[in-house]
Amino acid sequence: MSTPPMIRNSPNPSGFNTALELPFQLRLDDFKAAVQDVYDFFFDVNSALLAKGLDRLDDTLRPAIMSGVLSDMLTASLAKHSRVLTVNTYFNGHPDLVVRGHYANNAVKAGDQGVEIKTTRKAGGAVDTHGARDQWMCVFVYAVDNETEPARARRPMTFTEIYLGQVGLDDFRRNARGELGTRTATLHAQGIAKLRRSWIYRQG
């Protein structure tokens, strides 16, 4: 039996929330393009890897690294397609995207004019952050098929949900820190419900 060919993924056109008012002159088309950019990258890379008999990138990267790679790619792509946002050039600065020209050299350690980008495999958008703060938070939820056999027949990585909402200090709960852990904060039940009301995309 022949192996199914690689599938080039694409977002569901009817999955976008046309009633949502977006900040910073963002458009739904910016998100469509950013998602497609990531899909195209994974299609090209995985096609080349499989042609050499190697594992897909999805199967190679550990979940934490995968989330970091996706966050960086989405940040760069949204900056490319956005009308007014650009990448925060401050290393590990917050937020990931800032209003172009608002900060000197588009660099700020901790600013409030922009959007923080997060990715997670957790349905509903619950994601750990390094600290509670007032911010515009954008969460991309994605799914990876690591189970279908043979591996060449696995479904491509898919973004299933996207949220973009303005959250504040009171929307977070502080997580307990272990002896070797880093203190984190996560939106509590009311906070995550607030974020989910501002949904951009649902795969359907």
pLDDT 10s digits, 94-150: 999 999 999 999 999 999 999 999 999 998 887 877 667 788 999 999 999 989 988
Q: DSSP H helical segments within 82-199, as ranges?
A: 189-197
Give the angle subtended at the CA of 14 by the CAs of 151 and 69, to the nearest 5°: 45
Quick one: CA dihedral 37, 129, 28, 10, positive or negative? Answer: positive
Residue 1's pLDDT band, with cuts at 50, 70 and 90, is very low
DSSP state of 99: E
- Residue 201: pLDDT over 70: yes
Tokens of 25: 């002159």
The answer to whether residue 2 scores a pLDDT higher than 70 is no
Beta strand pairing call for 135-143 and 114-120:
parallel
94 closest CA partner among 118, 77, 111, 82? 111
User: How are beta strands 128-129 and 172-174 bridged, if at all?
Assistant: unpaired
How far apart CA 138 and CA 29 sit, in angstroms, is 15
The yes-or-no verdict on residue 190 having pLDDT over 90 is no
Identity of the highest mean pLDDT range in 57-71, 124-138, 147-161, 171-185: 57-71
pLDDT band at 153 (very low <50, low <70, confident <90, very high): confident
pLDDT of residue 182: 60
**What are 22's two structure tokens?**
């977006």
What digits encode the pLDDT tens for the residues 31-64?
Answer: 999 999 999 999 999 999 999 999 999 999 999 9
Torsion of CA 129, 130, 135, 140, to 10 degrees: -30
Q: What is the mean pLDDT of residues 171-199?
A: 74
Q: What is the mean pLDDT of the chain?
A: 90
pLDDT at 180 over 70: no
154 pLDDT exceeds 90?
no
